């Protein structure tokens, strides 16, 4: 938790000293597009999901991301996550190891990306980087939920298209709990976004139109191979601010569409890219 607070505090410092240009960090929090990390670059990101359920305690779930471009077609990422609920306690909720592979070179009308992630988390996890299956999150105390561990394997088919300043992305999610004898849980996410400007001016500017990306994403669970329960679905406007070529800020406010969904999901994030090595 302290590392998350430090990360967000550093945003103010970076804004004051950064040079201006554009980055390609996606504005979405759940939906993935076809852009991978530059080979040899390390992206450090901190984000948080704050949930406002209709009943029960609210919560805040911060996470830290370390994303590295191994090859032009392969990006790997490590997640460390936690949760805090005010009077309900706090906990470290686990880690995730993500890999994305882009099988086709160049830009196409439809750009596929294959995604595989291994998760070692517990039932207190609330970052909701994806939503699968059905039913609302458990309302049991964090201290009890942190004792229930789960090792899960997740796969996604990512389809993404770019047309001018627009991006349209669709994700199909499949997740299997390796710790329990249960079916495969299903989910989806869809995102659409566009840059507010195309040409980069020659002057230093932090709030020019071309620095901002606006859009929306929808995501939710589709039940499991064992049956369809009450599912959660959200729609969320998103905004991204490319402060410079290395740093991005973004935010979204998700609105729950079903009784099982939280009323609101507020997400904020910060990302900074560091060149580590040159790809040869």
Alpha-carbon distance of 53 to 127, in angstroms, equals: 14
For residue 78, the cross-strand partners are 66, 97
Residue 241 has pLDDT above 90, yes or no: yes
Structure tokens at 112: 């596929």
Alpha-carbon distance of 175 to 187, in angstroms, equals: 8
* pLDDT-above-70 percentage for the chain: 88
Average pLDDT over all residues of the chain: 88
Predicted pLDDT of residue 2? 44
Predicted pLDDT of residue 138? 83
> Cα dihedral sign for 19, 34, 240, 51?
negative
User: Which uninterrupted H or E stretch holds 145?
Assistant: helix 142-145
The residue-averaged pLDDT of 15-24 equals 38
DSSP 8-state assignment for residue 87: G
Predicted pLDDT of residue 202? 55
- Closest CA relative to residue 257, chosen from 215, 217, 214: 217
Q: What are the domain boundaries of the chain?
A: 2-273
- Closest CA relative to residue 236, chosen from 191, 274, 205: 191
Mind listing the pLDDT tens digit for each residue in 33-77?
999 999 999 999 999 999 999 887 899 999 999 999 999 999 999
pTM for the whole structure: 0.87
Residue 200 has pLDDT above 60, yes or no: no
CATH class of the domain defined by 2-273: mainly beta
- Closest CA relative to residue 5, chosen from 131, 78, 128, 90: 90
């Amino acid at each position: 938790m302290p590392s998350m607070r430090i990360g967000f505090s550093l945003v103010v410092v970076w804004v004051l000293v950064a040079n201006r240009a554009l980055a390609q960090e996606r504005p979405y929090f759940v939906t993935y597009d076809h852009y991978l990390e530059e080979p040899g670059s390390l992206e450090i990101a901190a984000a948080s999901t704050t949930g406002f359920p209709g009943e029960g305690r609210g919560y805040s779930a911060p996470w830290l991301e370390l994303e590295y471009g191994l090859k032009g077609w392969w990006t790997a990422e490590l997640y460390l996550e936690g949760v805090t609920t005010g009077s309900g306690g706090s906990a470290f909720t686990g880690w995730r190891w993500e890999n994305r592979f882009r099988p086709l070179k160049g830009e196409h009308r439809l750009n596929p990306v294959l995604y595989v992630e291994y998760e070692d988390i517990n039932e207190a996890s609330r970052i909701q980087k994806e939503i699968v299956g059905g039913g609302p999150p458990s309302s049991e105390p964090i201290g009890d939920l942190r004792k229930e561990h789960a090792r899960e394997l997740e796969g996604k088919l990512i389809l993404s298209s770019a047309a001018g300043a627009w991006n349209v992305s669709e994700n199909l999610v499949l997740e299997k709990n390796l710790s329990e004898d249960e079916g495969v849980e299903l989910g989806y996410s869809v995102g659409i976004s566009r840059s507010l400007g195309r040409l980069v001016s020659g002057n230093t500017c932090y709030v020019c139109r071309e620095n901002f990306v606006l859009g929306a994403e929808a995501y939710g669970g589709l039940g499991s191979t064992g049956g369809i329960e009450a599912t959660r679905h959200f729609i969320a406007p998103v905004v991204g601010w490319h402060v410079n070529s290395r740093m991005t800020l973004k935010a979204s406010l998700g609105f729950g569409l079903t009784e099982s969904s939280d009323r609101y999901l507020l997400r904020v994030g910060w990302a900074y890219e560091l060149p580590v090595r040159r790809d040869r």
